[in-house]
Amino acid sequence: MPVFLETISPDFEAAFQALLTAKREDSPDVDAVVAQIIEDVRSRGDAAVIELTAKFDRLELTPDTLAFSKSEIADAVATVTTQDRVALELAADRIRAYHEKQMPEDREWADDAGATLGWRWSAVSAAGLYVPGGLASYPSSVLMNAIPAKVAGVSRLAIAVPTPDGQVNPLVLLAAKLSGVDEIYRIGGAQAIAALAYGTETIPPVDKITGPGNAYVAAAKRRVFGKVGIDMIAGPSEILVIADKDNDSDWIALDLLSQAEHDESAQSILITDDAAFGRSVAQAVEKRLETLQRRVIAGASWRDYGAVITVRNLDEAAMLSNRIAPEHLELCVADPAGLCDKTIHAGAIFLGQYTPEAIGDYVGGPNHVLPTARSARFSSGLSVMDFLKRTTLSRMTPQALRIIGPAAAKLAQSESLEAHGLSVQARLDRLND
C-alpha cells in the first residue's frame, strides 16, 4: 500500500521529508565498468564497439553493418500498419509545430555610447540521440529528441538504438524517418555513448548527446560531459496529481498508474483536499492492478513509493507541489489555471481533468523529456534551446571606445592584468593623438 499522509498530523513534516528524500534511483556501482568501456572505444574504435555489441546484445556486426542501410529502414517501415503510421505522423506534426514556436530571435542594437551589441543563435553541428532498444523501445522518444534538434537546425543527426538479438521496432525507424534523422546505428549501452562522443572509424563524433538510458548509459553520459554536451541525467518517472473530489476516481487512478507502470522505482503521488476521495482513488488503483498488463512493475512502484496526501486546501497543495518539484504535474481541480499560477516548480503541467499526462507523452506537443528527482527546481525539459548556442556580438566605434574604454583599462589595472589594460589603452592613445 502507498503511504497516507495528512498535513494536520503532528508528524506530517517528518513523514513528508522522508517521502522527498527516499532514494529511488537505481545506482549500482557501474562507473568503473563504464570507464573501461569508454577507454576501450576511444583506443580501439569500431573493433571495441563490435565486440561489446556481440557481448551485450548477442549481435554480430561489421563496420559496414553498424548502421542501418536505407533499404533495411525502408523494409522495416513498410511493415508499419496504416493506423500506427497515421498516429505517429500526427504526433510528429504536433511536436514539430510546438517546437517551431520556441525558436528564439537574433538581436542587435546600438546603445547610448554608440556601441553595437547583440547576439545570434546557431545550432550545434551534430547531435546524437540515444534510444533504448529492442521491441520495447519507444518511438515517441525518437520524436521528442529528434524533432527539436532538426527544428533548431542541427545539420547531422545520428541515433544509437540497440537491437538485442537483431530485434528492432519498426516504429522507431519510422519515427526516425519522420524526424529527419540522418544516421541510425544499431548499437547501445555505454559503448554507444562513447562512440558518439569520441567517434570511431565508422561513426563520426557529435557535439551533443540526448536521450534516456539505463544506469550504464547515464554513467557514460556523465563521463563524456565536457567533451560533448548532454541533456540531463534522468531518473525514474514521476507524477503528482492534485485533484479535488469532483473527479472520477478511476481516471485519477489510471493517471497515477501511467507512470507507475514505467518502472518499479517510479513514483506516483496524489494530493487532495478530500480524504474520502483519496481513499477512493487508492481503492481504484488496487482494482486496476488486478488486470493491468504491467501490474507487477506498477504494483511495486505504487507499494514502495506511492503516496496519498490530504491537505487543508489547494493553496497548501500548491505549496507541497513546489517542494516536490515533480516531473509531471496534473491539476484536476475546478480552477486549474488559478492553481497553475501558484505552482512554480514542475517539468510539465497538465491543466484540467481532460488533460491526462499520457497526452503529453505522445501527441500534446510539448516535450516529454523532463527533469526528475526534484531537478525541476532549477532545470527545464528538452527543447530547441538544447540544440542551440547563443553567441554574443559587440562592435565599438571610436567614439564608443573613448566613452567606455578608460573604465575597462582601469578595471584591468585593478586586477593586475597589464596586457588587458594595454590592449585598450593603446587604442585610446591612438584616438587621442
Tens-place pLDDT, residues 293-326: 999 999 999 999 999 999 999 999 999 999 999 9
Cα(57)–Cα(51) distance, rounded to whole angstroms? Answer: 10
Is 262 among the catalytic positions?
no
| DSSP annotation string for 286-321 | HHHHTT-TTHHHHHHHHHHH-EEEE-SSHHHHHHHH
CB 387 within 8 A of CB 208: yes
Residue 26 is predicted with a pLDDT of: 56
Residue 5 is predicted with a pLDDT of: 97
Residue 199 is predicted with a pLDDT of: 98
Domains of the chain, earliest start first: 31-104+122-230 (3.40.50.1980), 235-378 (3.40.50.1980), 396-432 (1.20.5.1300)
pLDDT band at 134 (very low <50, low <70, confident <90, very high): low
Residue 29 is predicted with a pLDDT of: 79
pLDDT digits (tens, 9 = 90+) for 162-181: 999 999 899 999 999 999 99
Residue 22 is predicted with a pLDDT of: 81
| Pairing between β-strand 348-351 and β-strand 116-123 as defined by DSSP bridges | unpaired
Cα 373 to the center of its chain, rounded Å: 12
pLDDT digits (tens, 9 = 90+) for 81-115: 999 999 999 999 999 999 999 999 999 999 999 99
Q: Which of 99, 238, 264, 328 is catalytic?
A: 328
Bridge partners, 110 (sequence order)? 116
Residue 388 is predicted with a pLDDT of: 98
Average pLDDT, the chain: 95
Q: Which of 183, 238, 264, 327 is catalytic?
A: 327
pLDDT band at 197 (very low <50, low <70, confident <90, very high): very high
pLDDT digits (tens, 9 = 90+) for 320-368: 999 999 999 999 999 999 999 999 999 999 999 999 999 999 999 999 9
Give mean pLDDT, residues 122-136. 87
Within 13 Å and on the Cβ side, how many CA atoms surround 297?
A: 15
Apex 235 CA angle, 234 and 239, nearest 5:
105
Residue 323 is predicted with a pLDDT of: 97
pLDDT band at 27 (very low <50, low <70, confident <90, very high): low
Asked if pLDDT for residue 135 goes beyond 60, the answer is no
Using the 8-state DSSP alphabet, how is residue 129 labeled? E
Could you give the dihedral angle defined by the CA atoms of residues 169, 170, 174 and 175, in that order, rounded to the nearest 10 degrees? -10
The cell numbers describing 225, all together, are 560531459
Is 13 among the catalytic positions?
no
pTM: 0.93
Apex 150 CA angle, 148 and 154, nearest 5:
115
Nearest partner of 298 among 349, 339, 256, 357, judged by Cα = 256
